[in-house]
Structure 1
Amino acid sequence: MKISTPEKITEHLHNALSKVGSFQSCAFLDYPAHPNIGDNLIWLGSILYLTNVMGTKIKYATSKSNFSATTLEEKAGNSPIILHGGGNLGDLWPEYQNFREYIISTYCDRPIVILPQSIYFSNSANLKKAADIFNRHPDLTIFVRDNRSYTIAIDAFDRCKVFKAPDMAFQMTGLPKIPDVNKSKSSILYHCRQDKEINEQFLANILEIPNLLVEDWVSYKWKFGHPDKRLSRYGSQLFRELWQKGLANPSEWISRQKWQYLHPYSPVFKQIDRPSIHQYSWSLMHSGIYQLQQHKLVITNRLHGHILCTLLQIPHIFLPNSYYKNESFYEEWTKEIPFCKFVKDTSKIKSVVQKFLADS
């Protein structure tokens, strides 16, 4: 069956997740306490699924750095644990995998669900270690986002329940675009990640596209300050909230206030443990939408640049990352989307750009 619309992808998401049944309550762990907008989109989609579709009360929500076994017990008792999805099941981002393995090895007395992940291990010993921990858990369910991850999981995590599902951000299919965004008639954005997942065959200077605006998620420009130094943290927050997210672009600030307080989804976050962190993620989502909506065409090597453009029906070109994550997700779920093209040959990017511009 062709999966040619975001709505159809959402149907696949719901069909897959329904296999775990429903929980009356849960603890939702590994909140993305960093400015990567993509990870925050996953978190938000997960919240909306757990609360609006599954009818689950999230009694405890926390990041890995703020996790407390005592608080988990006090707030959630022996409720099932839900672990955040994304692209960090493996050894590329070890701090998240270490936390996941700790939780799974510690809490064998309750069901644990890992929401849709891409799996990548460069070291077979690390995969074996993860498999030993995962397979010892009596009730662990793992959702994966693509066929290559599914093959790894079925082989390595053979005592776990493994299912394929799209990314949790597709729970937000149908979101309206943000009104009153000043959209350029000709601008092209290269939404380019700058971390260890970048594929260096696709650096901006290699693309040879004139007047190309190159930037990562806008949130990476914001000032955050050192988390252990209170004065630095508070000063950075003041500068960020008053200037970078406010006075420097007043029209976006006004739009964000409407999004924060008038959007029908906003009240959902007040009903969950630690509402301020979810509301902050909601604000980050506005920033991501606002950033991408300004451009006639987007080129992106970020999976959630691709997913957000798909949700918003923004024409875009999708490029590989450092391993198979982007291409495998595209082949599994989004290759029939008519306003997107995955390009893995740098020599073809210019002609695909010209075709998109001619068709618009």
Structure 2
Amino acid sequence: MAEKPMKDSRSLITELQNEIDRVIGPHLEGVEDFALVDFPNHSNVGDSAIWLGEETYLQKKLGRAPSYVCTYDTWSKEEFERAVPAGPILIHGGGNFGDLWPSHQEFRLRLLSEFPDRQIIQMPQTIHFSSAASLKRAADIINSHKKFRILVRDVQSLKIATKEFTAPVDLCPDMAFCLGAQSSPAAITRKLLLLLRTDHEKVERKGFPPLPNVAVVEDWLVEQRGLGKWLFVKALLETAPLVLKGRKPSGLDVRIRWFHLLASNRVARGMRQVGSSAYVITDRLHTHIFCVLLNVPHSVLDNNYGKISTFVDAWSKPFEKLSRPLSTSVAEALAKFLGSSAPRDQG
């Protein structure tokens, strides 16, 4: 099969945004109130990028913010039913569909069990089960629901879903692409950033090669102490003007604004981290996506179950500043960096 022609950042982003709308748009026709649930209230930048992309797309498509939002552990059935009497439940996308991140999976299955007649759309996910028993249990619950639609980010997930589940399944790019092309918010101060996972999706890399003096090794999980509390106060202040419009802001109003501020702050942090680097090596999917959004030359490695390579094969392989073929080791990625000429203008 012939290689797809190379594409610049803006062309690829526009193409993927159009594909997202082609896949999701028809299922939102006539929607007014809706819920967007399972907010990622943790420091991982990538999950916040998905949330912010979902918000951006839905605001553009439907002209409004969600009527109800929650984390997996702050869900209230009563509050949801008051806010969204009949509209759909949209479940936040990402890489937690399966048994690797059980709290999010249990929440997903709970929603399907509690609302067998409600339209539920799983925003684009990667599916991974390590246990046959976990997969069977999920299939039993999913296959009893008549209005569940699953969006997946890669062909491997598509194969699992179409084989195991009776729900309709669509292949769809990651929602972070809805953030659009970005200008770097930081000056280029680092020649090489290795942004590598430190959580339980990391690959144990034996014999880590010697790094050049210009290299910086980081993850993107560390954030400002007390950020959540400070942004909650900011959300309170920003929703206060609702009083001038004749209504007292509710706890839900504050929560919707707070989640937006949290996600925006985390995404901005990640953009500064990636944008300040002339060349990036990463095993995080959304660092790769940020490199596309910021037009940064980079090499990618896989996580521990192949999430990145399957995504790249489906969507972002044509990006002209992605080193090919995909690297299988840090040493190989370093060789590509050392062989590259003037990765980015540092002037």
**Structure 2 length-normalised TM:** 0.84
Question: What amino acid is the match of 2:217?
Answer: V
Check if 1:350 corresponds to 2:322.
Answer: no
* Alpha-carbon distance in structure 2 between the residues aligned to 1:47 and 1:358: 36
What secondary structure sits across from 2:200 in the alignment? coil
Question: Residue 212 of structure 2 aligns with which residue?
Answer: 210
Asked if the contact 2:19/2:172 (under 8 Å) is kept, the reply is: yes
3-state SS of paired residue (1:72): helix
Question: How far, CA to CA, are the matches of 2:70 and 2:302 in structure 1?
Answer: 31
Shift of 1:24: 1.5
* 8 Å CA contact retained: 1:26, 1:56: no
Alignment match of 1:32 (pick from 37, 40, 61): 40
- Following superposition, the deviation at residue 273 of structure 1 comes to 6.1
Residue identity matched to 1:160: A
Give the Cα–Cα distance (whole angstroms) in 2 for the partners of residues 302 and 96 of structure 1: 19
Structure 2 matches for 1:155-174, cutoff 5 A?
155-157=163-165, 159-174=166-181
Q: CA deviation at 1:347?
A: 4.2
Aligned pair partner of 2:135 in 108, 115, 127: 127
Q: Which residue of 2 aligns with 1:45?
A: 53
Secondary structure of the corresponding residue to residue 187 of structure 2: coil
Q: For 1:280-302, what per-residue CA distance to the aligned partner results, in whole angstroms no more than 9, with x for missing partners?
A: 21111111111111111111111
Kindly report which structure 2 residues correspond to 1:80-99, keeping only aligned pairs within 5 A, or say none. Answer: 80-99=88-107
What residue is the counterpart of 2:315 in the other structure? Answer: 333
Change (3 A) 1:3 1:73: farther
SS at match of 1:175: coil
1:311-322 matches, cutoff 5 A: 311-322=293-304
- Classify the secondary structure of the residue corresponding to 1:274: helix
Q: Given the alignment of the two structures, is residue 117 of structure 1 paired with residue 125 of structure 2, yes or no?
A: yes
Match of 2:203 among 196, 199, 205: 199
**Please, which moves more after superposition, 334-343 or 113-122?**
334-343
Aligned-partner Cα distance in 2 for 1:337–1:162: 26
Same amino acid, percent of matched pairs: 32
Question: Once the two structures are superposed, what CA deviation does each residue of 1:92-138 show, in whole Å capped at 9, x if it has no partner?
Answer: 11111001000111111210000000000001111111111111111
1:318 is aligned with what amino acid?
V
Contact 2:193-2:217 within 8 A present in 1 as well: yes
Distance 1:276 1:347, change over 3 A: closer
Retained in 2: the 8 A contact 1:208–1:350? Answer: no
Aligned to 1:287: 269
Kept in 2, the 8 Å contact 1:32–1:39? The answer is yes
| 1:3/1:334 contact within 8 Å kept | no
What secondary structure does 2:222 align onto?
helix
Q: CA deviation at 1:2?
A: 4.9
Please tell me whether residue 183 in structure 1 is matched to residue 185 in structure 2: no
Structure 2: 5+ residue stretches without partners? 234-251
In the alignment of these two chains, the number of paired residues is: 314
Q: Against the structure 1 CA distance between its residues 52 and 272, is the aligned structure 2 distance closer, same or farther, given a 3 Å change threshold? A: farther
Q: Return the letter of the residue paired with 2:197.
A: R
Deviations 1:192-239 (A, max 9, x none): 1101100113x6x6142212211111x5253359xxxxxxx96xx69x
